[in-house]
Copies of this chain bind each other. A is one copy, B any other.
Amino acid sequence: MKTYSKNQLRRYPVYLRVLRELEAKGNGFVSSNQIAQLVGNSEEQVKKDLAAVSDASGMPGRGRDLRRLVHDLEAFLGYHDVTRAVLVGAGRMGQALLDYPGFQQMGLDIVAAFDSDPVKIGTRLGETEVKDVATLEEFLSLEHPDILIDCVPASAAQAIADIAVRNKVPGIWNFAPTVLDVKESTIVENVNLASSLAVLSHRIKPLLS
């Protein structure tokens, strides 16, 4: 099996986005050079990245078949399969994710949401019913979702992760601002706003007066 670095994996959805935009504008072909300019990477990197997931190689003076490239990227990213997720923590961040229009396109189906707040339990957010977090463990053991989206406050995030690990949920998508301690058999991907802000703040420093 090929191996891909995290940074490389992160680039594929960005390629897909610019390719879809080109397709929507009526283009049928695209060159590596065009893609490189649109995403701001080197042409060499674009060629290497695309070769790893698609054999839609370019024809001289014409470029690559755009529709085929889009298809291959979607297939590689798993967008043609359904990934079943549960979301825990229906606060603003959780609600923002339940509302996020892009997930359906990515094959991500949030099948249930959980919260501990009696005011929220039983209500619907979009198409998803908010269930009592006390029933989370039973739900996981019966429904075996692929991903648990952890959107609870930092102080509660580890307890939720423990329930996921106990019930062998393969992946935790962690939006809680804390480091989760899980067994190696569970994969954690953190969306860390503090880390993202650290990069931005450092890079704008020379521009501040």
Contacts and interface: CB of A to CB of B under 8 A. Distances in A.
B102 A201 contact: no
Contact of A96 (B12, B39, B95, B200): B95
DSSP majority for the A interface? helix
Given A96-B96, A102-B177, A179-B38, A189 B203 contact: yes
A208 B194 CA distance: 31
A106 B197 contact: yes
A14 B102 CA distance: 28
Contacts of A97: 193
A9 B106 contact: no
A139 interface: no
A199 B9 contact: yes
Interface in A62-121: 77-78, 83, 91-93, 95-97, 99-100, 102, 106, 108
A198 interface: yes
Interface residues of A, number: 56
Residue from A13, A91, A100 whose CB has the most chain B CB atoms within 10 Å = A13
Given A18-B179, A187-B207, A189-B199, A102 B194 contact: yes
A53 to B, nearest CB: 11
Given A170-B207, A173-B196, 12 more contacts: A4-B202, A9-B198, A14-B192, A17-B179, A38-B179, A78-B202, A96-B96, A171-B203, A171-B207, A187-B203, A189-B199, A191-B193
18 contacts: A9-B202, A10-B195, A10-B198, A13-B197, A13-B198, A77-B198, A92-B95, A97-B193, A147-B200, A147-B204, A173-B196, A173-B197, A173-B200, A187-B200, A187-B207, A189-B196, A189-B200, A191-B196
